[in-house]
Structure 1
Amino acid sequence: MLPVPVVRRLLRVKVKVSRNRLMQIAVSVFGLALVFAVAFSYFENVDFFTAFYWAVITMATIGYGDVTPKTEAGRVVAMVTAVAGISTFTALVSLLAENFISSSLRRMMGMHRVRYSNHYLVIGRGSSVSTCVNELLGAIERGELKLAPIVVVFPDEEERKRVELPEEVEVLIGDPTSRETLERARVDRASHVILALEDDSKAVFVTLMVKRMSKARVFVEVLSEDSVELLRGAGADRVVVSRSLAGRLLASSIFEPEVVDVIEDITSSVGGYDVAVMEGNAFWGRPYMEALRELKEREDVFLLGYYHNMPVLNPPLEEPIPPGAKLIVLRGSVSTGKLR
């Protein structure tokens, strides 16, 4: 008697075969080839490999002529094999072509399933998506982010047409609140998930789903500050209030427009300058002035301060940089070639 685990595996295989037409036809072709090979080996008195080779060649209607039946029984088997081969091989090739075309169409429509791991997943709509993707690509080119695929999920085809993305970005179409969409995007294997849904209630719901399905870090854009605590409670690792930031910049553009220009420049990797964070273990315990001077001479970057639980900008020159701190620096954007 077969062990229970073996029986269960056989039952699973049987169910998969019964539900998959392509597998059914493939098993039928292979089974017929075995049957005809046994018959040919028996009637023609040849080894099994030669018989199996003859059966496959005959079923595929290739007929090289290097192996031919000599007996009447062998010729009968050859005729039956040729007729059976035409039907089964035609069905197999048709299903293969159908699956290939279906897969291509699903990819064109964004309804396919990705097979990535540790990828960056961006879900949302609007200009925030394209800006985010461009920043990620820039950080990858500079070596600040690990090289990994970027997958974008749009809610519909119209949104996909409105937003221009680089060719190397994988695009899916689907409802972000649907588990099926998140599964197709392999959220369970993503390293980071970015949500820019332009709907705070939907952002809370999707964050809960992502956290339930994945261990990825989740970063969310919201419109209202009232949603920040809800999203943090849902498990979001960081929440950005886009309208509050936009409002502050709009107000500042009236009385200090130059500051707005600086902020827009340093927050974009494609501008003239870029604010970045770098490891500072070589300067832990040393005065801020030494780090400022050495970084300018050696790295051609300007030290703005350090991050230790919170940002500390422009500290006293004699203040030592605490252990565990990261350095906040200003440097020229790689795209402009202005500094390093």
Structure 2
Amino acid sequence: MIPVPLVRRLMKLRIKVRRNKVIVLAAAVFLLALIFSIMFMYFEKVGFFTAFYWAIITMATIGYGDITPSTYGGRIVAIIAAIAGISTFTALVSILAEYFIESSMRRMMGMHKVKYKGHYLIIGQGGSVLSCLDELKRAISMGQAEDNPIVVVLPSEEEKKRFPFEDVEVLVGDPTNKDTLQRARAAEASYVLLTLEDDSKSVFVTLMVKQISNAKVFVEALKQESFSLLKQAGADRVILSRTLAGRLLASSIFEPEVVDVIDDLTTSTGNYDVTVLTFPELSELKFGEAWQVLYKQGYLPIGYVENGIKLMPPLDSQLPRNPKVVVITRVSS
């Protein structure tokens, strides 16, 4: 079996060579047309534009017949132009066709390069990528997140074939490879979300992304001891997924209803959602007063943001200006 990285490098090299061939052939066609135009002008005593038009039409083997040579010299030039045109135009068209076909194949295989800026970049595999994408798409549809393009990087073509979303740009590649990050335009991304199967890879990719980009990097960690390493690598937020899962499993024994509530609040398909919203009209009000206003609007305030999250604050505590309030809201169907 041929290694996939080797195939990618060979295809990349072939495209560069082909681009050079297209330029050389296009220049050759133009130069030949110019030479035949000058020769046709000399023998047939016509203007340059007319001669150049005749040369292009003859070399392309279209032959409208509106301009025909009347001298022996002109007819000889026409014979040479027709033969040269068949070879050069055929070569040029075939190379262009092959280039576009190969570009389509690269896109089908996920080996192409995106052209986005300010996009969301999700790197990983498995259920975490799908649940992350579900939640992000829902947040965008509800106006809770910026409506930017989403790019997903998967490790293999098998993962790409199983990927259920057709409206998302999908690339295939090793995220520890700099070429993969370049194809995904990680340097231009606004957010990079990592959910890899190995924490050491997550640390390495976080370092690489932070070296080339100002994007915020959010990482799923599998082990508690990886938390500090990822923070040192520059991760803006680290989620300990297995630790949270373990807590929920234990809570299922003695407080299963709490697990149901957490599952509902943290799932995009649930009935309720926890979110943080800004309410300028509540500036410097008492929390109790703000609670009454928001409850009538369909929100259940449970705290606000000021030097951290303040949950269940005293009712007489004063909100800051343009307060960010933590609320529970019903999710519309």
TM-score, reference length from structure 1: 0.89
**Structure 1 letter corresponding to 2:51:** A
Q: Deviations over 1:249-285 (max 9, x none)?
A: 1111111111111111111222111111111332121
The alignment's C-alpha RMSD in Å is 1.7
Q: Mapping of 1:1-340 within 5 angstroms?
A: 20-162=20-162, 164-297=163-296, 299-323=297-321, 325-334=323-332, 336=333
- Uncovered stretches (5+) of structure 2, i.e. residues with no partner: 1-15
**Structure 2 letter corresponding to 1:305:** G
Q: Deviations over 1:125-172 (max 9, x none)?
A: 11000111111111111111111111111111223234x331111111
Give the C-alpha shift of residue 324 in structure 1: 5.6
Q: For residues 318 and 153 of structure 1, do their structure 2 counterparts lie closer, same or farther at Cα, with a shift above 3 Å needed? A: same
Give the C-alpha shift of residue 17 in structure 1: 8.8
User: Would you say the 8 A contact 2:18–2:99 is kept in 1?
Assistant: no
User: Would you say the 8 A contact 2:287–2:317 is kept in 1?
Assistant: yes
* Equivalent residue number for residue 3 of structure 2: none
User: Would you say the 8 A contact 2:282–2:322 is kept in 1?
Assistant: no
* Equivalent residue number for residue 9 of structure 1: none
Provide the secondary structure at the position in 2 that maps to 1:166. Answer: coil
Q: Deviations over 1:73-116 (max 9, x none)?
A: 22211111111110001001100110111011111111111111
**Structure 2 letter corresponding to 1:307:** V
User: Percent of counterpart pairs with the same letter?
Assistant: 58
Give the C-alpha shift of residue 178 in structure 1: 0.3
**Structure 1 letter corresponding to 2:203:** V
> How far apart are the structure 2 equivalents of 1:36 and 1:293?
86
Provide the secondary structure at the position in 1 that maps to 2:225. Answer: helix
- Uncovered stretches (5+) of structure 1, i.e. residues with no partner: 1-15
TM-score, reference length from structure 2: 0.91
Provide the secondary structure at the position in 2 that maps to 1:83. Answer: helix
> How far apart are the structure 2 equivalents of 1:165 and 1:321?
44
Provide the secondary structure at the position in 2 that maps to 1:193. Answer: strand
> How far apart are the structure 2 equivalents of 1:245 and 1:29?
66
> How far apart are the structure 1 equivalents of 2:238 and 2:95?
48
> How far apart are the structure 2 equivalents of 1:39 and 1:315?
91
The aligned length equals 318
User: Would you say the 8 A contact 1:286–1:320 is kept in 2?
Assistant: yes
Q: Deviations over 1:41-89 (max 9, x none)?
A: 3322222222222111111111111222222222211111111110001
**Structure 2 letter corresponding to 1:300:** G
User: Would you say the 8 A contact 1:305–1:328 is kept in 2?
Assistant: yes
> How far apart are the structure 2 equivalents of 1:78 and 1:152?
55
**Structure 2 letter corresponding to 1:243:** R
Give the C-alpha shift of residue 212 in structure 1: 0.7
Q: For residues 30 and 251 of structure 1, do their structure 2 counterparts lie closer, same or farther at Cα, with a shift above 3 Å needed? A: same
Give the C-alpha shift of residue 19 in structure 1: 7.1
User: Would you say the 8 A contact 2:282–2:323 is kept in 1?
Assistant: no
Q: Deviations over 1:273-327 (max 9, x none)?
A: 1111111332121111222222233x42222211223211221222111236411
> How far apart are the structure 2 equivalents of 1:195 and 1:142?
23
> How far apart are the structure 2 equivalents of 1:309 and 1:41?
82
